[in-house]
Amino acid sequence: MARAVGFRNVLVHQYADVDEDVVRADVALLDDLDAFTAAVAAWVVGNG
């Protein structure tokens, strides 16, 4: 998740200078974000 937070900071604070190709490449590398969202979805289903 630390990489996701760092990436968010780039988007928030330097949005005018963000290259869309870089965004696509970075998002593709956020496997930990996929794992996190899967865990949250499983928790929601189990507690819903």
pLDDT digits (tens, 9 = 90+) for 34-44: 888 899 999 99
**Whole-angstrom Cα distance, residue 41 to residue 20?**
28
| Structural domains in the chain (count) | 1
Per-residue pLDDT tens digits for 4-32: 677 777 777 766 677 788 778 877 777 88
CA atoms within 13 A on the CB side of 46: 6
Residue 29 CA to its chain's centroid (Å): 9
Tell me which residue range forms the domain holding 22.
Answer: 2-47
Residues 6 or more apart whose CB falls under 8 angstroms from that of 32 comprise: 1, 3, 4
